[in-house]
Amino acid sequence: MADFLAFLEELRELIPNFDELLSHLKRPLPTYFRINTLKISIKRAKETLRSEGVEFGPTKIPEILRIERFDAQRPLLSYYLGYIYPQALSSALPVLALLPKENERVLDLCAAPGGKTTFISQLMNDKGLLVANDRKKGRITSLLSNVKRLGITNTVVTIGRGEHLDLPYRFHKILVDAPCSGQGKYRFDERHGTIKYMKRGKTNLSAIQKALIKKGFDLLLPGGTLVYSTCTLDPEENEGVIQHLIEKRGAKVLDFSIPIEGCPGITEFRGKRYDEGVRFCKRFYPHKIDSVGFFIAKIVKE
Amino acid sequence: MPKLLRNEERELILSFLDWRFGIKREHFTDYDIYAFSRQAFLFRAQGENFTFPKGHFLRCGLPFMRDVAGHLKPTTCFIQKFGDLAHKNIITLGKEELIELCEKGELALDKNSKDIEGPGYVITKLDGHVLGVNLLIENRLLCRFPKALKETIKRLKKSQ
């Protein structure tokens, strides 16, 4: 816990309302449901959820509901019928930044368990081609199950290390939702003096992230766009990775607009200056959006 | 790797859906049907020169149809997505009947609906929601829901 607090202190000047963040991290995160409009209209889904005793409120994204109250012990038919996907609000944002459209060719490089994949297909109206890849067999089972439950027909699921993926085609749009340290999910457990949802291990995440984003960029069609996202606050896993892509591939970072406002990317950290374009990246802090913290960058291959 | 069904194999499946449930073949114009892992999959058509990625391939599209003891059986996920297009061989059950079906594995039906055309799979609905297919033999409805759905429905009893 001390290490994380020390790390957060380094970001104190860069995070708006920093003390508010510290108190927010002591509270549990709210639940959100995304309505799967491939199977049900928003209106009918709301009626069905109400009949199942779920109380909810709106968010700035029409398909996503903020759940105020529901009995977790009570089975929700809405879930088993594929009407809803429980998903953090911020987890939907990279897909909105990607802006997938009908009949495009889209790749989700690190797809499991499928929250973003199924939302991409939803925005494509289940038309075109969506390749959903992941390297972990255990996690792919959830991906397959969610694709099936949500009734998706335009998806090819592949298994393999994203950075070594060999595909016979190039894509209009690619999502690289990279494995990360997950600091955006951290919550303080004051009773035990620990951090909940903290990942263990000494994997060189930044090296994996750099390899993944380069592979994603190489698989783009000319003029295609790539969205890189993580659920972490660490600039070395975020702006540092974008900087690497700019240096290695001459990529251009795009500004983008989505219904929920983010803070600009950090252009300097621990004495390292990043390219000015990195300010177009967006940081979504947990206390500002009442959800998991996220980082999103949108990149074009010119 | 998945194998694209020949026209006559495709026609066999689509004519079954039309004959049994009144789901017209026109609804599937934009889809290809592939055989893979002893099942048929419904996959959004990608054009003539499309190839699947070799080496990494795991699955495509939505599980569509299975051969069960020599008879075609639509998968639950397919019927939940496309079942609203059907207009015959549909049974609407009340919550109590549904729970009994899942608990006992079968349900005696005393109603004779003009929309039921003899024994075979019937689409089962609750409050207008398509849940899946079950097997109707004489006046008995045999539960064919997947285990997870069956367990969910059984748990509805406790939460009533």
Q: Could B77 and A151 be called an inter-chain contact, meaning their C-beta atoms sit closer than 8 Å? A: yes
Kindly provide the ipTM of the predicted complex, given to two decimals: 0.94
Q: Which residues of B touch A109 (CB under 8 A)?
A: none
Q: How far apart are CA A195 and CA A117, in angstroms?
A: 29
Q: What's the pLDDT score for residue A196?
A: 77
Pair B67, B54: CB distance under 8 Å: no
Q: Which residues of B touch A149 (CB under 8 A)?
A: 77
Q: Which residues of A touch B29 (CB under 8 A)?
A: none
DSSP A274: P
Q: What's the pLDDT score for residue B132?
A: 98
Q: Which residues of A touch B78 (CB under 8 A)?
A: 151
Q: What's the pLDDT score for residue B156?
A: 84
Mutate to test the interface with A, among B43, B60, B102 (most CBs of A within 10 A): B60
pTM score over 0.90: yes
Q: How far apart are CA B57 and CA B76, in angstroms?
A: 23
Q: What's the pLDDT score for residue B111?
A: 60
Tokens 């539960």, residue? Answer: B143
Alpha-carbon distances of B99 from A71, A155, B126, B155, B158, rounded to whole Å: 20, 34, 11, 8, 10
pLDDT in tens, A46-56: 999 999 999 99
Q: What's the pLDDT score for residue B114?
A: 65
Q: Is B28 strand, coil or helix?
A: helix
Pair B84, A188: CB distance under 8 Å: no
Q: Could B31 and A153 be called an inter-chain contact, meaning their C-beta atoms sit closer than 8 Å? A: yes
| Residue in chain A nearest B59 by alpha carbon | A157
First to last CA, chain A: 43
Mutate to test the interface with A, among B36, B56, B76 (most CBs of A within 10 A): B56
**Pairing mode, strands B57-60 and A155-159:** antiparallel
Q: Could B55 and A126 be called an inter-chain contact, meaning their C-beta atoms sit closer than 8 Å? A: no
* B79 interfaces chain A, CB cutoff of 8 Å: no
Q: What's the pLDDT score for residue B158?
A: 66
Each residue's pLDDT, cut to its tens digit, for chain A (302 residues) gives 778 888 888 888 889 999 999 999 999 899 999 999 999 999 999 999 999 999 999 999 999 999 999 988 888 999 999 999 999 999 999 999 999 999 999 999 999 999 999 999 999 999 999 999 999 888 999 999 999 999 999 999 999 999 999 999 999 999 999 999 988 988 888 777 787 777 766 678 999 999 999 999 999 999 999 999 999 999 999 999 999 999 999 999 999 999 999 999 999 999 999 999 999 999 999 999 999 999 999 999 99
Mutate to test the interface with A, among B44, B51, B54, B151 (most CBs of A within 10 A): B44
pLDDT in tens, A170-185: 999 999 999 999 889 8
First to last CA, chain B: 46
Residues in contact with A206: Cβ distance below 8 Å, sequence separation at least 6, in sequence order:
A236, A237, A240, A241
Amino acid at B140: R
Q: How far apart are CA B110 and CA B102, in angstroms?
A: 18
Nearest to B58 among A74, A157, A165 (CB): A157
Residues A201-223 as b/e (b if ≥16 CB within 10 A, e otherwise) read eeeebbebbbbbbbbbbebbeee
Q: Could A129 and B152 be called an inter-chain contact, meaning their C-beta atoms sit closer than 8 Å? A: no
Q: How far apart are CA B98 and CA B77, in angstroms?
A: 18
Q: Is A126 exposed, middle or buried (0-12, 13-18, 19+ CB in 10 A)?
A: buried
Q: Bridge-partner residues for A254, per DSSP?
A: A298
- How long, in residues, is chain B? 160
Nearest to B58 among A71, A158, A168 (CB): A158
Torsion of CA A205, A211, A214, A215, to 10 degrees: -120
CA angle A266, A112, A1 (to 5 degrees): 50
Q: Which residues of A touch B58 (CB under 8 A)?
A: 140, 144, 157-159
Amino acid at B51: T
The alpha helices in chain A, defined as continuous H runs, are: 2-10, 18-24, 42-51, 77-80, 93-98, 115-123, 137-149, 205-218, 239-249, 286-289
Nearest to A82 among B55, B57, B80 (CB): B80
- Give the residue ranges of chain B where pLDDT is below 70: 111-114, 158-160
Q: Could A80 and B126 be called an inter-chain contact, meaning their C-beta atoms sit closer than 8 Å? A: no
Q: What's the pLDDT score for residue B109?
A: 87
